[in-house]
């Protein structure tokens, strides 16, 4: 009983959403995704912290250093080991969100309180780039053909409300090495080059970090028969990633239909799975399940 009292004593008003059933206590941080009884609203937070990382530390770290990570993990939202980000992981996390009157899914919660999302299904099949000969060019910022399509034609067809919810951000477009399985190095390489814009794609490391099986599936050489069952991003079809390969100026990574990362010329065709960032002023309601997705107020 003392432990339970201490648990509640450590939290400031506005931080805790408690559901007590029998002897089980489930706590949701309002900075993230509460139950359907509460609205997510980070425009008027009472947190002293200025970012998600500090908010989690403030909420859970003072009294029970391990509690916060465990609660986040129980809801398939894991604090990233390499960056100040929180990823939804596993085969079926509750990360569904309605955006542009369509089904999307949340990739990550960022430390600036923006939320990165991706379309739940793919759209057109097209070349990543169709210039500089049949092989194309892997410079997304040039801009590439797919960059232009997503940020002009595709963006133009979004609803006005959806457009107002998007924020332009710096996207990681650095080239990585296919056979380098040091994920930290790959992330650093991705972050070595940035592009500022509104709509992009999932990076290679983001696909890897969505997998809950870190031991066997935390690298480029993940075995699909093992790793497809622990990664919600696997669709069973081939779709483009944002990340270029450092092999040459024409090669880009994509998700092969068997579920692993592979190289392909930018001038080839693959399906498109758009990704974007929702601004930090949004309010979200819902539970995030497929039948009760988060909705933006």
Residues 132-184 pLDDT 10s = 778 999 999 999 999 999 999 999 999 999 999 999 999 999 999 988 889 99
Q: Mean pLDDT, to the nearest integer, of 249-270?
A: 92
- Lowest mean per-residue pLDDT among 88-97, 102-111, 161-170, 215-224: 215-224
Q: Considering the domain boundaries, does residue 134 fall inside one?
A: yes
Find the helix or strand (DSSP H, E) in which 240 lies.
Answer: strand 239-244
124 and 176 share a domain? yes
Closest by alpha carbon to 83, among 187, 195, 238, 170? 187
Residue 286: the pLDDT is: 81
The verdict on pTM exceeding 0.85 is no
- The predicted pLDDT at position 74 comes to 53
Over 80: is that where the pLDDT of 110 sits?
Answer: yes
Q: Which two tokens stand for residue 213?
A: 């099986």
pLDDT digits (tens, 9 = 90+) for 190-234: 999 999 999 999 999 999 999 999 888 888 876 767 888 899 999
Rg over CA atoms, the chain = 20
Q: For residue 100, is it within any domain?
A: no
Same domain, 69 and 204: no
Residue 145: domain span: 114-277
Check whether residue 31 and residue 129 sit in a common domain. no
Per the prediction, the chain carries an average pLDDT of 78
- Our CA dihedral for 237, 168, 34, 122, rounded to 10 degrees, sits at -10
Query: Tens digits of per-residue pLDDT, 73-86?
Result: 556 788 888 998 88
Q: What percent of the chain has pLDDT over 70?
A: 74
Report the domain count for the chain. Answer: 2
More confident residue, 53 or 183: 183
């Amino acid at each position: 009983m003392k432990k339970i009292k201490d648990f509640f004593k450590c939290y400031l008003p506005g931080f805790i959403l408690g559901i007590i059933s029998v002897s089980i206590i489930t706590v949701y941080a309002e900075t993230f995704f509460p139950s359907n009884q509460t609205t997510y609203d980070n425009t008027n937070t009472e947190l002293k912290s200025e970012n998600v990382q500090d908010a989690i530390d403030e909420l859970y770290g003072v009294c029970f250093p391990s509690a916060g990570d465990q609660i986040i993990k129980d809801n398939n939202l894991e604090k990233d080991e390499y960056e100040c980000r929180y990823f939804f992981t596993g085969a079926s996390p509750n990360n569904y969100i309605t955006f542009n009157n369509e089904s999307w899914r949340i990739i990550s919660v960022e430390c600036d309180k923006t939320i990165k999302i991706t379309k739940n299904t793919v759209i057109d099949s097209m070349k990543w780039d169709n210039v500089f000969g049949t092989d194309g060019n892997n410079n997304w910022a040039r801009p590439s053909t797919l960059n232009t399509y997503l940020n002009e034609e595709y963006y133009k067809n979004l609803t006005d409300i959806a457009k107002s919810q998007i924020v332009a951000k710096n996207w990681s477009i650095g080239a990585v090495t296919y056979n380098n399985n040091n994920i930290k190095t790959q992330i650093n390489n991705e972050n070595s080059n940035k592009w500022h814009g509104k709509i992009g794609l999932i990076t290679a490391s983001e696909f890897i970090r969505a997998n809950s099986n870190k031991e066997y599936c935390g690298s480029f050489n993940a075995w699909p028969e093992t790793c497809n069952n622990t990664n919600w991003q696997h669709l069973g079809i081939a779709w483009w990633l944002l990340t270029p390969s450092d092999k040459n100026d024409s090669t880009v990574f994509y998700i092969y239909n068997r579920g692993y990362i592979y190289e392909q010329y930018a001038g080839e065709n693959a399906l498109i799975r758009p990704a974007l960032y929702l601004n930090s002023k949004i309010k979200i309601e819902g539970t995030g399940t497929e039948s009760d997705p988060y909705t933006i107020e």
